[in-house]
Structure 1
Amino acid sequence: MNIHGVGELDSSFSRFAARTAPEVLPTFDPSQATLTPQGTTIVAASFLDGVVMAGDRRATMGNLIAQRDIEKVFSTDDESIVGIAGVAGPAIELVRLFQVELQHYEKIEGVALSLDGKANRLGALVRSNLAMAMQGMVVVPMLAGWDAGRRQGRIFGYDATGGRHEETGFHAVGSGAAFARGSLKKTHDASLDAHAAILAVIRSLYDAADDDSATGGPDLARRIFPVVMTATASGVRQLPVDEVAELTSQVLETM
C-alpha cells in the first residue's frame, strides 16, 4: 500500500531525517580533511549479462598508507553496487545513508526504486555534501547495477557537485582512474562474458597500482585482493577471496 501522503512520512529518508531528527545524519569537521584517510581507485565494466565493479584496498593519508585492507565497494540492495573514492569517513557514511534511503523508499512506496531513481537519489546525497566538498572533504561515488527494465547492466559516475552521467562500457574513479581507464580501453569489449570482464577490471586495478602510488596492488603475502562484485538478473554477488585470488593469479601469469 502506498502511504506516501500520510502524515509526515517522506519517501526520502534523508529529507525526513533532516526535518525531524537532523542529529542522526552524519557530520564531519572539514578542518580534519588532510588528516583523514582517502579511498582511491574504483573500476566498473559492463558485460553481456550484467556489470562488475572492483576496488583496490588501500587508503592513504598524505604520503602514508593509512589502511591496507579498506573496503570501498558495497552492495546497496539486490540489484545495485556502489564504489567510493575520496575522503573515506564521509564516503562510507554516505553509502550507509544511501542503503537506508533505498530501504526506506521501498517500505514507504511499496516498490523498489528503478535504477535511474537510485542514480538520482545518490546524486542528491552527494550534492548535500557540497559544502564539505568545497572545504576538502570530497566524496566521489560510482553506481552500477542491473536494470530489470532494460535487461542490462548500467554504470553511473558523479562529480563532486552530485551531477550524474551514465557511462558506456566501463568507468573508473579515484587517483588511479586515468591508468585504469587506459587499461580497460585495451581489454574491454561489450561482448565479454562475466569471467572475461572480471579479469579485465582486476587487470586495470593492477595497471593503476603500477603507476599510482595511492592505489594498492594485490598483496599476496597478506592475501589482500580487490573487492569484486557483480550485478546480474540473479542479483548482486561478491566474489569470495579465494576466487579473486585465483583470478588475480591468472592476470599476473599473463603480465
Structure 2
Amino acid sequence: MTVVIALRCLDGLVMGSDSQITDPGRGLTYPDQKLHPLGKRAAWGGSGSRAVLYDLEQIFGSEPESILEADDIGRALQARTVPVLEHHYECFIEKVPAQESSGATPATYVLAAGYTGDQPFIVDIDPHGLIGRHEGTGFQAIGSGAPMAQQAYTLLENFNMSDRGIDYGLLGVLRVLDALAVSSPSVGGPMDLCRITPEEAHHLSPDEVAEVREQVGQWKDREQKTLDVLFD
C-alpha cells in the first residue's frame, strides 16, 4: 500500500509519503523513495507501477523548470505523463504462460505540489490521464492508502491546518502518516516529508523528521491532558 499526501497551509505546502513498496508478484516489501524534487520550489510523488514511476522520474528530473514555467501546470504534467502511461498500457502482458496472475498493473497516479510564481498548486494525474486540481480543498492523497488518509485528515479538521503555518502542516501530515502505519501493515516508514514555500522545497532529513515526530508527541500529550480534565 502506498500513500502520498499534499496539504496547503497558510504560508506554504507540505507533502508526505510512506516509503514501503509492496511487490505482490514476488511477495516482497521493501523501502523506496516516493517523494522527489520537481525543480527548486515543488515536489511530486506517485503510486502504482514502479516501471511507470521510474520513467516519469527521469522525465520530470530532466525538465522541471519547463514544467513549472508552463502556463498550465496541470497540462504540463499531463503532457508528460500520458505518453508514458500509454506506452506501458500497450506493452503490458496481462497473462504470462505458466505463471499465476500477480495482480500487477501499469495503472499509476501522480501527485505534485509547489509554486508557479507566487501561486501554490496541488495537482494530480490519474491512471486515465485526467487532471485534478486541489488548491481549493487544500488536501489530496493518492495511493491505495488514500481513503484512510482522507478519513484520518478529516478527524484533524477541527485544527484548521489550512489556516495555520507550515510547521503545523508538517505535524498534521506526519500524524496522518503515522496513523496509517499503525492501522495498515502495508504502510511503513521511514516517512518522508517535504516543506514547500514560495522560496524553496526542502526535503526533511531523517533527523528533522524525528524532531517533527517529537513535536507530534507533545501535541498528543496536551490533547490527553485536556481530555483528562474535561469533566472536572
TM-score of Structure 1 vs Structure 2, range by shorter chain: 0.7 to 0.9
Aligned pairs for 1:90-101 within 5 A: 90-101=52-63
Aligned to 2:170: 198
1:67 equivalent in structure 2: 30
**1:156 matches 2:123:** yes
Aligned length: 200
The residue that corresponds to 1:145 in the other structure is 114
* 1:130 corresponds to 2:86: yes
Aligned Cα root-mean-square deviation (Å): 2.3
Checking the alignment, whether the CA contact within 8 Å between 2:118 and 2:198 is kept in structure 1 is no
**2:143 is aligned with 1:187:** no
Deviating runs (4+, > 6 A) in structure 1? none
Aligned position for 2:143: 174
Give the direction of change, closer, same or farther, for the CA distance of 1:93–1:252 in structure 2 (3 Å limit). farther
Contact 1:49 1:232 in 2 (8 A): yes
Give the counterpart letter for 2:150 in structure 1. R
Q: Secondary structure of 2:140's partner?
A: strand
Query: What runs of 5+ residues in structure 1 fail to find an aligned partner?
Result: 1-38, 107-111, 219-224
TM-fit CA distance, 1:174? 0.6
For 2:194, the equivalent position in structure 1 comes to 229
Q: CA deviation at 1:113?
A: 1.1
Q: Which ranges of structure 2 fall in alignment gaps of 5 or more residues? A: 93-104, 222-232
Match of 1:118 in 2: 73
Percent of aligned pairs sharing the same letter: 23
Counterparts of 1:226 and 1:180 in 2: how far apart (Å)? 14
Q: Deviations over 1:210-230 (max 9, x none)?
A: 3333211x4xxxxxx211112
Give the aligned partner of residue 14 of structure 2.
52
Pairwise CA distance, 1:252: 4.5
